[in-house]
Amino acid sequence: MSKDLLLKIYQTAKEKQIIDEEFLTFLESVFPDKSATVIEVIKRGITKYVYTPSNRIVWTAKGKNQEHMIYPQLYCSCQDFYKNVVVKRKRDFCKHILAQIISEALRRYKLEKVKDRHFNNLIKDFKLKV
């Protein structure tokens, strides 16, 4: 996965603090024919779960039919990530990872603070949905 490219996306979004035509053009150059789907994911919602006292962080993105778990720059639980990133190696990341990076840079996400004892519930919920 191209972490340098994700860092550039993050920095560009953070500097602009807005999703405008210029940013969309940049995003389209990075993720051809998919920038609109990234924006759709951002609109549907990104959530950052912060577990205490461990300070463990898990991000989620609402998909069309279900929520996907994201470990930034590393993993997404969606089928596209598994199929096109892991197996076929057609892309370096999925739309959910891009949406998470952009949402973090723009500070446009829901923050949920949760006790550590509830972490297993989140993981169990994702196992049941996959």
Dihedrals φ, ψ of 102, to 5°?
A: -65, -45
Instruction: Provide the 8-state DSSP code for 66.
Output: S
Residues 6+ apart with CB under 8 A from 88: none
CB atoms within 10 A of CB 21: 7
State residue 37's pLDDT score: 93
pLDDT at 103 over 70: yes
The predicted-structure confidence for 66-95, as pLDDT tens digits, reads as follows 899 999 889 999 999 999 999 999 888 899
pTM: 0.89
Residue 44 CA from chain centroid, whole number: 12
Please count the structural domains in the chain: 1
State residue 1's pLDDT score: 44
The secondary structure of the chain in percent helix, strand, coil, rounded to multiples of 5, reads 55, 20, 25
Q: Which domain holds residue 16?
A: 3-129
